[in-house]
Amino acid sequence: MADIAQAAGVHQSTVSRALRGDPALPKTTRQRVRALAEEMGYRPNPLVSALIAERKRGRPSGHGSVLAVLSAGKTPTDWRSSPQGSYAHIFQFMETHAHRLGYRLEEFTLADAKVGPERLKQILLSRGIRGILLAPMPFETQEIDFDFREFAAVALRLYLQRPLLDRVTPDYFSVMNTALEKLKSTGHGRIGFLCNTEVDERVRHRSLGAYLVNRQSAPTHFRKPLMYEEWSDGDFIAWVRKGKLDAIVTSIYPQYLRAQQCLEKNGWTLPRDLSLISLDCHAQTHEAGMVHNLEQEAISAINFLARKVESADFGVPEQSCRLSIPGQWREGELFAPRG
């Protein structure tokens, strides 16, 4: 602002007032200063703006600048109630890493009818909050109505489709590839993929795509996948018998449990007769398969957003970027190498 003041031949406080749109200044002065600021490439520092907002309120937090976590649940914290607590773990990791960088997190929801998107935007701006983390959205929420022009934003996972923001997500394609390579290397030769169509939509067909690429090159090793909308014990058992499967890959934990119960009820002994693995293992469970690196996902999201905030990279990008985090194989129960 000092550079702009010198170029415009005015005091620095006049530049500050002009950029804030102070109506007490002549309109011509405001327009001239703003045009000069644009020409000189001036961008406001959002961290300084946040500090000033806290000082004006007279209630400094003492915890650094605030990053908003925006969800679509009935309450701001509903999004964390995911099966096996994976989203709760992500939030804890994000909170810890944000604190290391001098930030703190505060949760908000778009579902509060008393506030609404426009009012929420004004609340965030008035408090100097310029960074937004979009929490994983419910399956039915693929589009949200919010004006991101004055915010840096990063979305978690692939669920939100509009607006298409920068995002951090597990690398579902490589997760499937790693699991299949492990099964092949341990002697499994008749592998099947079991997936619900809704789950397939949520990960944008990346797991299925990786499976089909492997099936294309080795159709005898990788049998036709079973994609279903509504579960049927009969269809599942018929698929397993037809393929004479010695390994089944499941997408999520509830699917893994359902397949296990159905197989054991129909006479299979696991893992003697076949291996059952999951692409979404959790810390407190014992299934074999792939474990998502939730801590790296959280750290990457905070780092990504902090860089955008600190460089005033606001608005929906013309072309979004995606950081994909690979998973790691875990040897657990219901997995055994074949002869």
Give the span between the Cα atoms of 158 and 32, in whole angstroms.
Answer: 43
Enter the DSSP assignment of 84. G
* Structural domains of the chain in order of their starting residue, each with its CATH number: 65-170+295-325 (3.40.50.2300), 172-292 (3.40.50.2300)
**This prediction's pTM:** 0.80
Which one has a higher pLDDT value, 296 or 141?
A: 296
Locate the DSSP E strands across 55-190. 65-71, 103-109, 131-134, 152-156, 166-170
Among candidate residues 119, 115, 166, 111, the one with its CA nearest the CA of residue 140: 111
Mean pLDDT, residues 132-160 taken together: 91
Q: Which residues contact 98 (CB under 8 A, 6 or more apart)?
A: 67, 104, 105, 302, 306
Which one has a higher pLDDT value, 37 or 250?
A: 250
pLDDT of residue 101: 86
Which one has a higher pLDDT value, 54 or 15?
A: 15
Residue 209 in tokens: 């795509």
47 pLDDT higher than 80: no
Mean pLDDT, residues 240-262 taken together: 96
Residue 212 in tokens: 């089909």
